[in-house]
Amino acid sequence: MIRADSIFKSFGDTPVLQDISTEFLRGKNNLIIGRSGAGKTVLLKLLVGLLQPTKGTVWYDDIDFYSLNKRQLRDLRMQIGMLFQGSALFDSMTVQENISFPMDMFTNMTAKEKLDRVNYCLERVNLDGANKKYPSELSGGMQKRVGIARAIVLNPKYLFCDEPNSGLDPKTALVIDELISDITKESNITTVINTHDMNSVMEIGENIILLHNGRIAWRGSKDDVVHSDNEILQDFIFASPFLKRLRTKALERG
């Protein structure tokens, strides 16, 4: 479990996050949703330590993330996997080298053990046989899947996904969502997904927080979304007139 404890973050005089306190549960798909500029990426970066909060702290189970020394931080980070919005695959390396990079850097595994692990991860994301390809030879969806394979290669306890569906068609986005959700359940890890894709919210959102103007405006699960009276949530999820009509009809039919 990850717990954000009264987090404030400002850039200069501009407050971006104000008093964020929430829990991200183990074995669940924890979603951070909100409009562009709501502070989702800043919160995600604070959770993984790429940014420092102005006030407040983050707990990984019973570990205060910001009180760790360099060595402890490195040990904890080896339990963290992250999928970036642009996948962040190293261009000069093949798929195999990309996935193998964390193992090359931090483990003493033999070449065969590493290859077996790479092949397992590639199989897990349905990309078996893509070992020798370069990121430039892959589609956006395939790059995301390689990103997921790299994120899970060291069996992380915590998985972070920043906009995993951005730039993907709805069908491929669904495949990525299901993949992340399956991995979360199988390995019982704490997964935090930052998204503004309402399909993801309705498909895999088990523990959702909605950020609005740097504050938590709503929290719940996908089952609570349709029935919630929260205007900010409804404006966000059912943004188009078509979706608003759909919601009204769904509520009329009970």
Partner 1 sequence: MFLVTDYNVRALLAILTIFGRSLQLHVHMYPLRVLFHIGRYISMLGSAIARPEKNIMYYRETIRQMYDIGIGSLPIVFLISIFIGAVAALQFAFQLDGTLVPIYYIGYIVRDFAIIEASPTITCLVLAGKVGSNLASEIGGMRQKEHIDAMEIMGVNTAAYLIAPKLVAALVVIPMLVALSAFISIYGGYLAVVPTGWLSDPEYALGVRSFFNPHNFRLMFVKAVTFSFILTSVSCYQGYYVKSGSIELGKASTNAVVFSNVLILLADYFIAVLLT
Q: Which residues bind partner 1 (CB under 8 A)?
A: 48-50, 73-75, 77-78, 80, 82, 84-86, 88, 90-91, 101-102, 104-106, 160
Nearer Cβ to partner 1, position 31 or 80? 80
Nearer Cβ to partner 1, position 180 or 217? 180
| 182/191 Cα distance (integer angstroms) | 11
Element of type H or E holding 7: strand 2-11
Nearer Cβ to partner 1, position 44 or 173? 44
Q: Tell the smallest beta-carbon distance from residue 162 to partner 1 (Å).
A: 9
Nearer Cβ to partner 1, position 163 or 197? 163
| 16/11 Cα distance (integer angstroms) | 7
Listed residue (127, 129, 143, 124) closest to 187, CA to CA:
124
Burial of residue 240, with CB atoms counted within 10 A of its CB: 0-12 exposed, 13-18 middle, 19 or more buried:
exposed
E strands, 43-111, are 55-60, 63-64, 80-83
Decide: 197 and 173 in contact? Cβ < 8 Å.
yes
Q: Tell the smallest beta-carbon distance from residue 88 to partner 1 (Å).
A: 4
| 196/174 Cα distance (integer angstroms) | 14
Nearer Cβ to partner 1, position 66 or 90? 90
Q: Tell the smallest beta-carbon distance from residue 109 to partner 1 (Å).
A: 11
Q: Tell the smallest beta-carbon distance from residue 248 to partner 1 (Å).
A: 41
Sign of the CA dihedral with 106 first, then 108, 110, and 116 last: negative
| 9/18 Cα distance (integer angstroms) | 7
Q: Tell the smallest beta-carbon distance from residue 97 to partner 1 (Å).
A: 11
Nearer Cβ to partner 1, position 59 or 84? 84
Nearer Cβ to partner 1, position 106 or 132? 106
Q: Tell the smallest beta-carbon distance from residue 98 to partner 1 (Å).
A: 10
Q: Tell the smallest beta-carbon distance from residue 110 to partner 1 (Å).
A: 13
CA distance readout (Å), 169 to 94, 97, 143, 174: 25, 27, 14, 9
